[in-house]
Structure 1
């Protein structure tokens, strides 16, 4: 999870005058975790659903509410800057959305440049999916002037000096010769043109989502900045800009809006108009448990959470939510904030008033049989998380990407989706255990999740069994024999046909269908392709199978 580091003095400068021991005891009450601390600074971990707390300014804002020093929505004034940005239609297929803001009277003395860079990178992880969804640029506004342009340029035109470089490079050269370009090239290198942000004199501010220009590099003397946020998801772009602007406004920065002119519309950003939701008194007391909070009590707690609220009647309150609180999606999220301000430790624990008799689910009885069978065939069981990433699940496995459940605010880049297959987890296990003796024979029994529009929650889960063999002479015959043994011992017939699965060597893979009185299984098996083996940095042949139980 994202960790931020700040000095105790930083909080004192922002109005939180609290002794170290008291601070360390209080922070966890605000849904955070203390990672480490010494006599000067502290490292705090916040859940990724609160990206507004990933800066010391955001922490101070929340802290002031929690302590009752300041309550209600912070009043940040936004005035028009009069500056515009025009968006070329050519960027629509590359990185279509962009929002701008100008912020004056900023303070970058001391460690503040480092803090804003850390904040920016944390937002890249939490909201931006490591820049795939959102990328942020912060620029010295005193060395550039508008109107600005967001364009798509050929890879060998519009050369500029990239950040921390001395010589001009073309966009194409940056992707192959700059360390940031090499790291993030995969986000745009499939296109014929690359995005650039230019000022009125065609000076380059940024090549999103790769690198800023050296021209607009921040220094301690910088007083006015331009913030650009580009991305593939307009909601995420808006959220990132709002969070950044609110953080600067918290310490006296004057936020000024800018006009972004698309071919068919004009957008003014940022917009700090609060969202409005309703919270119910009875639901609040029910979810917290053991409380009898009145509408007036709930109103005060909401204001401590830095919301505004109006009492509509004895059971309803109208809640005004600041735009930087991107975690509020449902009424229960509001109740969570009420609970935090009430103090979770003050909630009395009680046993539910229910009596039940438990029985083991039939699937788990079957799972025991499968586990014993696989162990009997010489396989060792592994267990992995259902969270994975598109890179591991599809790109490295050379598999066709299908509709899948994405994590809206992933903790890490390796946990951005819910898996639809078990094979990449087995490959990752082999990669992590290359130092172990061969042969290696591993298996996993686990759940996967598919999109299904016919279901109430738009998803359906499935049970799968996957196995993998790695040694110098692993081959198709061996894995076919394994699958045949598994299915026959479980009471299934087996029919195979040619497979076009991209994870396997063509002609050395098969699809399989098994049927029995209890149900049906479908799957595939074969020899993993050399390309996939290299993607996971393995050195020996690998064979694998995966079957899905149609319960």
Structure 2
């Protein structure tokens, strides 16, 4: 999860004068985990559903409400300008959306500059999915001139000096040779043209989502900045811009808007108009367990930096600030009420109901599978349902396909729901390669299955997988394990040669086993490809199997 570091003095400069001991006590109550602290600074980890708290200004704004220093909707004045941004129609299939804003009168020093850069990179991850969905550029406004142009250009048609470089390069050369270009090349190198942002004088501001130009690099002398946000999702683009400009405004910045001119429409950004939702008294009482009235809820929402209006004896209309991108449903408002009330002040009690429980049949099967594998000399491991595309696809030499992605992942390692168990077992071997051999592990778990003919149709499947590693691990060993496992379950096994990129060609077999028509098993086993073994930094042969229970 994103971690930010700020000093107690930073909070004081933002209007929050609080004793460090009290701060350490309060921070977990507003949704953070404290990583470390000393006499001058504190390092905190925030959940990604609150990207507005990834800057010290955002934290100060939240604390002002929680402590009652300031209540209600923060006011942000946006001065309209005549500046325009023209969007090339050829970007529609590449990176179609862009939003712009200007923030003036920023008090920039080394500390502030570092905080802005870290804030930008945290947003790249939390909202931008590592720049794939959203990418942010922050530029020195004083060296460029409006209007601005967002173009689709030939990758060899222009040169500019990328950030922290000395020599001019073409966009294609940046993707091939520059550190950032190589890292993010996959985001645009499949297109014939690349996105580029230029000013009136054809000076290059940015090659989004890869890198900014050296021309507009921020320094401690910068006072006025131009912010661009590009991406593939218009809502996410505007949300990222709103979070940045409101944060900079909290430290004294003056926000100005620009008009983005698309081929078929115009849009003025940023748009900081509050959104509105309704929260019901009855539901708030049911969820929180608190004996609230509408005035209580109104006051607590004010401490969450929202405005609320009583519109009936049973409900409130709530004005939500543009930076609160986490408020999606009425229950999110109720959570904000509970946070402002302070979770520690909510008394716990046992529910006044009685139930009779019994073991789910699904888990009885799990127990049987585990007993058989333990009897065969394997040790069980349990991994997370979440994994990442690199380990799931690239490291296993599998082609990427439809998957369920996490909208706001808590870390770069947990971005999708797994569709297989094998890569998790390989990760376990990698983490334990210092242990003695042989290592024989297995896992029983659920995965997501997406119907290739109906991509919106997903279901949960039960799988079992196992891997073995030692100097003499081979096809015969894993075949014997699979045969013994199925025989103990009462299945008859049929095998046939199959090609699976994760396994050595010619040393992988497909499995079909039937006990009765209602409980078929399908799967495969074999010797792992040396490239896969190397991808997980293992040094000895690995064999494994994976079986799927269709019902």
Partner of 1:389: 388
CA distance in 1, matches of 2:188, 2:119: 24
Deviation of 1:459 (Å): 4.4
- Cα distance, 1:266–1:499 mapped onto 2, change above 3 Å: farther
Deviation of 1:452 (Å): 7.2
CA distance in 1, matches of 2:539, 2:453: 43
Deviation string, structure 1 residues 528-551 (Cα, Å, up to 9, x no partner): 333333332334333221111233
Partner of 1:124: 124
Bigger shift: residues 23-32 or 494-503 = 494-503
* Alignment partner of 1:233 is 2:233: yes
Deviation string, structure 1 residues 225-272 (Cα, Å, up to 9, x no partner): 111111222222121111001101222212112222223222221111
Deviation string, structure 1 residues 471-509 (Cα, Å, up to 9, x no partner): 344333333332222112111222334434332334433
* Alignment partner of 1:48 is 2:66: no
Deviation string, structure 1 residues 327-348 (Cα, Å, up to 9, x no partner): 1111111100000111111111
Partner of 1:70: 70
- Cα distance, 1:419–1:187 mapped onto 2, change above 3 Å: same
Q: SS where residue 159 of structure 1 aligns?
A: coil
- Cα distance, 1:302–1:453 mapped onto 2, change above 3 Å: farther
Alignment of 1:456-471 (within 5 A): 459-471=458-470
Deviation string, structure 1 residues 318-373 (Cα, Å, up to 9, x no partner): 11111110111111111000001111111111001111222222232322222222
Partner of 1:156: 156
- Cα distance, 1:523–1:6 mapped onto 2, change above 3 Å: same
Q: SS where residue 449 of structure 1 aligns?
A: strand
Q: SS where residue 480 of structure 1 aligns?
A: helix
CA distance in 1, matches of 2:240, 2:479: 50
Q: SS where residue 494 of structure 1 aligns?
A: strand
Partner of 1:449: 448
Q: What stretches of structure 1 of length at least 5 have no aligned partner?
A: none
Partner of 2:179: 179
Partner of 1:528: 528
- Cα distance, 1:454–1:185 mapped onto 2, change above 3 Å: closer
Bigger shift: residues 207-216 or 183-192 = 183-192
* Alignment partner of 1:434 is 2:427: no
Partner of 1:365: 364
- Cα distance, 1:446–1:29 mapped onto 2, change above 3 Å: same
Partner of 1:4: 4
- Cα distance, 1:193–1:220 mapped onto 2, change above 3 Å: same
With normalisation by structure 1, the TM-score equals 0.94
Deviation string, structure 1 residues 197-246 (Cα, Å, up to 9, x no partner): 11122211111222111110111221111111112222221211110011
Partner of 1:60: 60
Q: What stretches of structure 2 of length at least 5 have no aligned partner?
A: none
Deviation of 1:453 (Å): 12
With normalisation by structure 2, the TM-score equals 0.94
Asked whether the 8 Å contact 1:124–1:130 carries over to 2, the reply is yes
Partner of 1:425: 424
Partner of 1:329: 328
Asked whether the 8 Å contact 1:453–1:459 carries over to 2, the reply is no
CA distance in 1, matches of 2:272, 2:453: 37
How many residues were matched structurally? 549
Deviation string, structure 1 residues 38-81 (Cα, Å, up to 9, x no partner): 12111122111111011011111111111122111111111222
* Alignment partner of 1:274 is 2:274: yes
